[in-house]
Amino acid sequence: MATAAERVEALTRTIADFPRPGVAFRDLTPVLADAGAFAAAVESLVGPFAGGYDVVAGIEARGFAFAAAAAGLTGTGLVLLRKAGRLPGETHGVDYALEYGTDRLEMHVDQVPAATRVLVVDDVLATGGTLAAAAELVERAGCTVAGLAVVLELAGLGGRDRLAPRDVHAVVPA
Report the catalytic residues. 62, 99
Whether residue 31 contacts residue 151, with contact meaning beta carbons closer than 8 Å, is answered with: yes
Our CA angle for 89, 92, 96, nearest 5°, is 130
Return d(Cα 28, Cα 153) in angstroms, integer: 12
Give 80-83 contacts, CB < 8 A, sequence gap 24+.
80/107, 81/57, 81/105, 81/106, 81/107, 81/120, 81/134, 81/137, 82/106, 82/107
Return d(Cα 83, Cα 67) in angstroms, integer: 16
Q: Is 88 exposed, middle or buried (0-12, 13-18, 19+ CB in 10 A)?
A: exposed
Return d(Cα 112, Cα 119) in angstroms, integer: 13
